[in-house]
Amino acid sequence: MTELLTIAGKPVLRFERRLAHRPEKVWQAVTDPAELAHWFPARVETEARVGAPMRFVFPDAAPVDDGGSGEVLEFDPPKVFAFRWNLDVLRFELVPDGDGCLLVFTQTIGGGDVGRLSGGRNAIGWDFCLDGLTARLDGAGAPPEPDWLHGMERYIEEFGLGDGTVHETAHGYELRFARDLVWQPAPEVWRLLTEEATVQPGDPAPLRATNGYVPAGRVLVASAPNVLEYEWLHDGSPAGRVRWETVADRELGTRIELTQTVPFALAHLRAEALAAWHTQLELFFAATFGEIRCPWPEERTAELTRRYAQRLTG
């Protein structure tokens, strides 16, 4: 079982795994750095005591160079092991269960609402790691690499991490989306968004930054590799703005933030616009993993339009 919860105002991923091994054996696998090396995503350097400093070292192929640091927060053999890893807190709890035990693993994700966006990639990543732990305990071979893209998409949908929100302003509404792009470099995101074209104010908006549901006008801001903003049209006249902004955070990863302003008079267009951007960000996310999906999934947009319309009227 995997859940994304909110506890004390913080996002928490919670996993349960029933293991066919006694707590004492599992304890060694989750606390001994030599054992962690077989399934944990980074090499761990630490000591077996509360307050001990920790250092994490990623393999050379990792998307970030420095695994960072932390400290041991709980160490109660063979029951609870918890530690801080950069902004996050990881906690392993072992509960005897017949001839085996129940592992309850949680990741309290740092970074608040921005950190929460990483729930999809963290969930599929820990699934893979916990599969590796189970295989190590069972004496089996390492599990195969998961389908990262589709695994993340499944969790993003399940956790509602792709959903847009509506905020009333002095002049109407602002539709907002924020989507985790893992550790994609901002220049690469810009290249995908503009399809490698040179974009300047006054130009038509790049095709990949637009869709057929929100007619696009001229570019207003083009600040590579972070900000692209253009006007959108209603009945041929400017009605508001669409803004794509890429934010690369050293601790939290890369995200895309998309907003559209909508005047009060066009409030009836909000549900369809939300659905269109939701669909487009799903397509864009897949493109960052090299998967270009055509044609536009109209049924998906129709389904999302119904969902957003219910929320707006509910």
Q: Among 264, 262, 191, which residue's Cα sits nearest to residue 228?
A: 191
CA dist., res. 304 & res. 308, Å (int): 6
pLDDT at 233: 98
Minimum mean pLDDT among 60-74, 123-137, 139-153, 196-210: which range?
60-74
Tens digit of pLDDT for each residue in 74-97? 999 999 999 999 999 999 999 999
Asked if the model's pLDDT at residue 252 lies above 80, the reply is: yes
CA dist., res. 210 & res. 208, Å (int): 5
Tens digit of pLDDT for each residue in 37-52? 999 999 999 999 999 9
Tens digit of pLDDT for each residue in 24-37? 999 999 999 999 99
CA dist., res. 13 & res. 123, Å (int): 7
Give the CA count within 13 Å in the CB-facing half-sphere of 111. Answer: 20
Tens digit of pLDDT for each residue in 50-59? 999 999 998 8
Give the CA count within 13 Å in the CB-facing half-sphere of 198. Answer: 0
Q: Which distant-in-sequence residues (6+ apart) come within 8 Å of 121 by Cβ?
A: 148, 152, 180, 182, 253
Three-class SS string for the chain? CEEEEEECCEEEEEEEEEECCCHHHHHHHHHCHHHHCCCCCCEEECCCCCCCEEEEECCCCCCCCCCCEEEEEEEECCCEEEEEECCEEEEEEEEEECCEEEEEEEEECCCHHHHHCCHHHHHHHHHHHHHHHHHHHHCCCCCCCCCHHHHHHHHHHHHCCCCCEEEECCCEEEEEEEEECCCCCHHHHHHHHHCCCCCCCCCECCHHHCECCECEEEEEEEECCCEEEEEEEECCEEEEEEEEEEEEECCCEEEEEEEEEEEHHHHHHHHHHHHHHHHHHHHHHHHHCCCCCCCCCHHHHHHHHHHHHHHHHC
Looking at per-residue pLDDT, the higher value among 61 and 204 belongs to 204
**Can you tell me the mean pLDDT for 116-141?**
97
Asked if the model's pLDDT at residue 61 lies above 60, the reply is: no
Confidence of residue 62 (pLDDT cuts 50, 70, 90): low
What are the C-alpha distances in Å from 52 to residues 35, 47, 71? 18, 6, 6
pLDDT at 66: 76
Confidence of residue 64 (pLDDT cuts 50, 70, 90): low
Asked if the model's pLDDT at residue 63 lies above 80, the reply is: no
| Partner residues linked to 75 by β-bridges | 81
> How high does pLDDT run on average in the chain?
96
pLDDT at 65: 63
**Can you tell me the mean pLDDT for 173-197?**
97
Write phi, then psi, for 31 (nearest 5 degrees): -120, -25
Minimum mean pLDDT among 59-63, 98-102, 110-114, 126-130: which range?
59-63
Rg from Cα positions in the chain:
22
Tens digit of pLDDT for each residue in 263-286? 999 999 999 999 999 999 999 999
pLDDT at 59: 80
pLDDT at 200: 97
Looking at per-residue pLDDT, the higher value among 10 and 59 belongs to 10
pLDDT at 50: 97
pLDDT at 314: 78
Contact yes or no for 165/176 (Cβ under 8 A): yes
| Partner residues linked to 173 by β-bridges | 168, 262
